[in-house]
Amino acid sequence: MAQKKPKLIPNSAAKNLKPEVKRIDRSAYFARREAAKVLRNVLQGDARRRAVGSIKSLVYSPSIRNKKATYALVCQTLKHLPIIKDVLEAANVLSGKWKRQGELIYIITYDILFGQEGSLVGDAEKFLLLKKDALQSALAQILKRKGMKDVKDLMASAISSSSFPASDVPKPRYVRVNALKMDVESALLELRKQYEVLQDDTVHGLLILPPGADLHNHPLVKNGSVFMQGKASSMVAVAVGPKPGWEVIDACAAPGNKTVHLAALMKGKGKIIACELNKERVQRLEENVKLAGATNVKVMHDDFLNLNPEDPSYSKVRAILLDPSCSGSGTVVDRLDHLLPSYGAGNADPSNTSRLRKLAAFQKKALEHALCFPAVERIVYSTCSIHQIENEDVINSALPFASTHGFQLATTFPQWPRRGLPTFDGSQHLLRTDLVEDKEGFFIALFVRKNKHQLGTVQKSTDKKFTRKKKRVNYLIAKMLGKWLYAQLT
């Protein structure tokens, strides 16, 4: 198997390179380090089944400079990761020092065995290049043992043994105009300089671009004037229906696309309490809030379940958006979750029943907690899952509790054709998007306080009675005081 030889450039010689070559080498060097950092977060999150963010969201965070190269390295390394691990184990070339930098080793090994020809600058690169013959020999032995002619056959075998759906389904690129910074017409004018752009007919301010349109380095994306956000995800904040001046809780807010959408719908007025428990995800949330110019968002590094509904601080909260942790089964293709080890051979079923039950138990607990806030009028529960156990079953199990707190299901986006699975009376109020029809699977449920208007009427009536009583008391006090003064004078 012929391999292209990367050129080894020792660190000491890097200073003597021509400026343009040195710039390319430095760019590749830093891309590998950034890719290793992303890969570490991805693998750790996958092992814990609690991702800090999707592969795309991690790569395209503001902290990553060379996004295109980093994205390619992470994806390609993940695709080849089972082979890379087998090669490293068979070659037995790693000492303790390098084992502690496993993700960087994976990235560089990919570049050496499968990447493009180029120079590799850095101590880790130098170490592995000296072991290149051993790595290639180990790869040849693995291919021979498995009866494969080349790596393509090995990769094809791995793909055919996976139950994961194909990831090459054409999907439009959606971007949402951030009304806090730009109006729709201005965004259309700017984007149409490069792309054919249509307006979505369901979500105001959501624009549709051709599949594959790469906007990650576009000025409007980098300055927060538009956000890359899928259609179904953009429907969630609209379903909440917040008004300017309201107080709203985003219960599981990171990475913050829905949070800043709420802020835009509220025209930057009122207050949004954005809760997030994970420290790394809090940082991402804060970055997106700042980028969007959403000054009415207060980020709380805390668990939503720790918020006390009886606390006076939340006595004016009128809406809650609850988008809890879920299986992510509706966006696995777009999120590239099929590249993760948890979807590999021997563990290819993403709908692990035990895990789904645990998720559903948490989701129900969070929903019932949201229903306890006394002044809340609207609650939206949403997931990016296709599984009934996380969607209809959660809603159905929480309905009795919701009813005792004055809530009932309401229909959101009534014109939308795909509704909830008919598993209980009222499921027609629920909304689903379809993996095939809509290229992603989402679920949205809207609860409204059914006696909201009655409560308002009762409150107004009570206020009027109190006012009349207060006037009567004041009149009697004034009358008594008048009599006393008259007695004193006479």
Residues with active-site annotation: 384
Phi and psi at residue 212, to the nearest 5°: 85, -5
Phi and psi at residue 175, to the nearest 5°: -135, 140
Q: Where are any strands of DSSP class E within 256-402?
A: 271-276, 297-301, 317-322, 378-383
DSSP state for residue 146 in the 8-state scheme: T
- 323 marked as binding residue: yes
HSE of 463 in the Cβ direction (CA atoms, 13 Å)? 6
Q: Which residue has the tokens 């806030």?
A: 373
HEC states along 170-227? CCCEEEEECCCCCCHHHHHHHHCCCCCCEECCCCCCEEEECCCCCCCCCHHHHCCCEE
- 86 marked as binding residue: no
Q: How far apart are CA 468 and CA 321, in angstroms?
A: 39
- 91 marked as binding residue: no
- 257 marked as binding residue: yes
Tokens of 2: 């012929």
Closest CA to 401 of 429, 379, 432: 379
- Burial class (CB within 10 angstroms; exposed 0-12, middle 13-18, buried 19+) of 336: buried
- Amino acid present at 141: Q
Question: Please, where are the H alpha helices in 371-451?
Answer: 392-404
- CA separation (Å) from 401 to 19, 22, 360, 378, 451? 68, 65, 16, 15, 15
- 254 marked as binding residue: yes
CB atoms closer than 10 angstroms to residue 138: 20
- 341 marked as binding residue: no
CB atoms closer than 10 angstroms to residue 283: 18
Angle between helices 257-265 and 231-240 (to 10 degrees): 50
Mention every residue, 6+ apart, whose C-beta is less than 8 A from residue 436: none
Q: Are 176 and 234 in contact (CB under 8 A)?
A: yes
- 253 marked as binding residue: yes
Q: Measure CA 247 to chain center.
A: 22
Q: How far apart are CA 213 and CA 159, in angstroms?
A: 26
Q: How far apart are CA 33 and CA 42, in angstroms?
A: 14
- Amino acid present at 392: E
- CA separation (Å) from 339 to 37, 205, 212? 17, 32, 19
Closest CA to 379 of 331, 324, 425, 421: 324
Q: How far apart are CA 344 and CA 83, in angstroms?
A: 12
Q: Are 27 and 66 in contact (CB under 8 A)?
A: yes
Q: How far apart are CA 50 and CA 324, in angstroms?
A: 12
- 303 marked as binding residue: yes
DSSP state for residue 171 in the 8-state scheme: -
**Which residues are documented as binding site for S-adenosyl-L-methionine?**
252-258, 276, 303, 323
